[in-house]
Amino acid sequence: MEDSNINQKSTKIGSHVPYIVEPGIPKLEAYEIISEIGRGGMAVVYEAIEKSLNRTVALKVLSRELSRDTELTNRFVHEAQAAARISHPNIVQIYSIGQERGIYYFAMEYVRGKSVEQMLGQEKRIPLLKCIDIVKQTVLALREAYKNNIVHRDIKPGNLMMAENSVLKVADFGLAAEIKGASLGNVPIDGKIIGTPLYMSPEQAQGKEGDFRSDIYSLGVTLYQMLSGKVPFISSDTKILLKSHILDVLPPLPSDVPAEVKRLVYRMTAKKPEDRFENYDQLLKVLEEVYKSLFPKKYVTPLLVAGLALSAGLVIYSISYKYEISNTGSFYSSFDKNKRIERNYMNVVQFAKEHPESYGDIIKEYFRIIKKYPNTEWAYRAEQKIDIIIMSVAKEAAEEIDRIKDECDKLVSESRYKEAISKYQAIKAKYNDTVAESYAEERINYITEKARTDYSKCEEQARELLDKYKFEDARAIYSKVISTFRMEEFNSEAGDKIKIIDQLEKKYKVESEARKIFDKLQYDESSFLAERRFDDVRDLLRKAKDENNNPVLNIFIDKELANIEEIQSEYESESLKEDIDDQYSYFKETYNSILSLIAQYCYKEALVMTNDGITNMEMAGWKSKLQNLLDRLEYLEIVKDRIIEGVNKELDEKNIKSVRADNDNAVFAMGGGYVGVPWKEAKPENVYQSAKKYVGDDAKGHMALGVFCVNYRLFVEARREFAVVLRKDPLLEETVNKYLVILTELEKE
């Protein structure tokens, strides 16, 4: 930082075009000083040879004047020691710190290359991809420093060194963060030197202690300069310059800078630190996204993949995206070699003219120029060409995407998913290997997933309609899927569902007709049975069977005929004739008592009475009716037991001891609490709502709920539960049909 205004004496750091060392240079026992590289108000930097290791170093020597300031020298040593703790490929490494005869110095890595400041002096504007590369490598360095509790506070082009192998090095790391005294080209505020005015963050300009977000701001200003060729604010009056950083909006970047890059710059240079990036990892993620948005997909590799060479020769190191600069020696200086490079370059230019749509292949050819002839004018021109192609294609693709996006959104809102997908597939095919293809693929995936979600909703709606036997409405839902979605993924399945609905509707009509006819037959046969006219009953049933070609009705009639045979056989038995009236009276009294107990939810007592009745009943017909009650009671007891178990478990979980469910008392959730009532006072509707919560989602549970609803005349709910039973276990169809017949009889009453 203190070397913000160091004058770099050569056009290339580390070159041996020596700046003649002036008399009075320090003499240090461990180092042989070759030449002066640059100087500032605080220190001078020399190229030197470390004698013990025979290696070239950059030697930074504190000026004699400042060396007499104890506080300053302590700070100089302390900051150098702090920087020495950091070891990272993108940070200029500190080798050693020392003092000799009152001269304070430290030796650091000698970087052969150019500073970004020198690059700007030569190129004015740096190519877009190289800008992103420089920022990426700088962020990696700053992140590593921050992990070591070090903040740079003076990020600017002069402190970013691009080595000849394209590895960026951050210099002057963590040095002179708070130094008072001599004017070093930085701005002292309340005795603190905290940065360089052209790149200083608003909080630094106000004399506040900057943190890592201050470095992000300074790096954002540096990126602005690399993209535009100039700093955003400039003034000969330092106070005006600082005020601009605090209050003024950044001037617009050139129109050819992509929107994604502009957004990156504006976020990095937000006036409030909290509006910048929360951490370096977040910034790195955005940099990766920006890079991918600019670059054809086939040439983009994840950040942490090291040494992966693409066919075009692009190599991405683990620390950044950059080109592999192979060791090809010095620049081609002969006329013949230059002509050959130029000819190869012009061949690519001609290829681009002849195949303007083959931008992927064009980029690949330009990469070959970069790979084969690094550090040449033609490699630089190839980089610029790649920038132009990428931005041109990106702009064209963005315009086309903007043109169809609203149209596709409308198609999606109308469930015309296939049409919307087709439009994005056209984009994907046209802009193959670009970020537009990735965007189109994302939209296709989004629309496909939305179609699947909507199809699931359609299925749920259709199931609800089928529960209510609204077959036509359910069929219409699947027909709409076929006509509007028009996606092969759903067309076949929707077509199969329509066929199933047709079969269910046909079966339902047959069953409904059978129930209707059989209900009338039972009504007609009752008068015959009262008079013991069994033959007339059989004739009635057989006639109905012959007149109606209904397989379900035939099943009902066959069972009824068998039942009639049992009743007649018992009635005509000599041993039972005397007891028929007594048996009937006992049956009637027992049956009514059981029904009364069921009405009060006393299922266990009802079970005992039913079993006793079955044991004592000698007439098979009436015994059969009691056995039917036994089946019903078993289901009802499942409902009650599961409710008691479920609600008590919930009470235990909530540590509620004031109420408890048992065989005599029910507990219901009401008004945000729990209320206990005797079972005999419970309303069927409340019991059913509680049962739905605790009985479970298995076929047996829904069967028990259906029987409960039949018993307590909740007819709509009963049909819904039985429909669920048939979906979960088709083998229970016969049992369900039995209770549906009972339900139909009760509905007539």
157 and 253 share one domain: yes
Final residue of a domain: which of 255, 270, 294?
294
Q: What is the per-residue pLDDT for 174? A: 47
Q: Same structural domain for residues 247 and 335?
A: no
**Nearest C-alpha neighbor of 525 from the set 493, 555, 560:** 560
**Arithmetic mean of pLDDT over the chain:** 80
In this prediction, residue 327 carries a pLDDT of 32
Q: Are residues 129 and 250 in the same domain?
A: yes
Q: Which range marks the domain in which residue 378 is found?
A: 308-398
State yes or no: pLDDT of 284 exceeds 90: yes
- The DSSP symbol for 681 reads G
> Rounded to whole angstroms, how far apart are CA atoms 565 and 559?
10
Predicted local confidence at residue 18, as pLDDT:
36
- Residues 139 and 236 occupy one common structural domain: yes
Within a domain: residue 73?
A: yes
pLDDT recorded at residue 57: 94
Residue 264 shares a structural domain with residue 325: no
Residue 521 lies in a domain: no
Q: How far apart are CA 125 and CA 134, in angstroms?
A: 13
CB of 174 closer than 8 Å to CB of 151 = yes
pLDDT at 218: 95
Stretch 8-26: mean pLDDT, rounded?
43
Is residue 272 one of the residues assigned to a domain?
yes
Q: Is 461 left (phi over 0), alpha (psi -120 to 50) or beta?
A: alpha
pLDDT tens digit string along 594-613?
888 888 889 899 899 989 88
CA distances from 277 to 45, 193, 272, 285 (A): 34, 25, 11, 11
> 311: pLDDT confidence band, cut at 50, 70 and 90?
very low
- Tell me, yes or no, whether 375 lies in a domain: yes
**Judgement on whether residues 195 and 101 belong to the same structural domain of the protein:** yes
Query: From CA 304, how far away is CA 496, in angstroms rounded?
Result: 49
How many distinct structural domains can be found in the chain? 2
572 pLDDT tier (thresholds 50, 70, 90): low
**What is the rounded average pLDDT of the residues 81-101?**
86
Same-domain pairing of 40 and 133: yes
383: Cβ contacts below 8 Å, ≥ 6 apart: 127, 129, 130, 366, 370
438 or 638: whose pLDDT is higher?
Answer: 638
520: its two tokens = 């009338």
Give the pLDDT score at 461: 92
Q: What's the CA gap between 174 and 152, in Å, rounded?
A: 5
The 10s digit of each residue's pLDDT in 692-739 is 888 888 888 999 999 999 888 888 888 999 899 888 888 888 888 888
Asked which of 80-84, 561-565, 741-745 is least confident by mean pLDDT, the reply is 80-84
- Supply angle C-alpha 234, 205, 209, rounded to 5: 150
Q: Is the pLDDT of residue 492 over 80?
A: yes
Q: Is 96 helix (H, G, I), strand (E, B) or coil?
A: strand
Domain assignment present for residue 359? The answer is: yes
Give percent of the chain with pLDDT exceeding 90: 23
Catalytic residue selected from 154, 172, 215, 433: 154
Phi and psi based region of residue 415 (left: phi greater than 0; alpha: psi -120 to 50; beta: remaining): left
CATH code of the domain containing 241: 1.10.510.10
% of the chain at pLDDT higher than 70: 84
Last residue of a domain, one of 398, 424, 444: 398
Summarised one tens digit per residue, pLDDT across range 205-260 is 888 878 899 999 999 999 999 999 999 999 888 889 998 898 888 899 998 888 88
Task: Tell me if 608 sits within 8 A of 593, measured CB to CB.
Answer: no
Q: In this predicted model, what pLDDT tens digit does every residue of 147-159 receive, in sequence order?
A: 888 888 889 998 9
Residue 349 lies in a domain: yes
Predicted local distance difference test score (pLDDT) of residue 355: 84
| pLDDT tier for residue 416 given thresholds of 50, 70 and 90 | very high
Please check whether residues 256 and 375 belong to one and the same domain.
no
Which range has the worst mean pLDDT, 83-92, 341-350, 388-397, 410-419? 388-397
Is position 544 within any domain?
no
Question: What are the φ and ψ backbone dihedral angles of 412, each rounded to 5 degrees?
Answer: -65, -40
> Does residue 476 carry a pLDDT above 80?
yes
* Domain shared by 284 and 339, yes or no: no
Q: Identify whether 656 is part of a domain.
A: no
For residue 31, what pLDDT is reported? 93
Asked about 154 being catalytic, the answer comes back as yes
Q: Which residues share a beta bridge with 168?
A: 162
Residues 245, 376 share a domain: no
Tell me: do 53 and 100 sit in the same domain.
Answer: yes
**Of the residues 398, 416, 434, the one at which a domain ends:** 398
pLDDT of the residue at 11: 31
93 and 141 housed in the same domain: yes
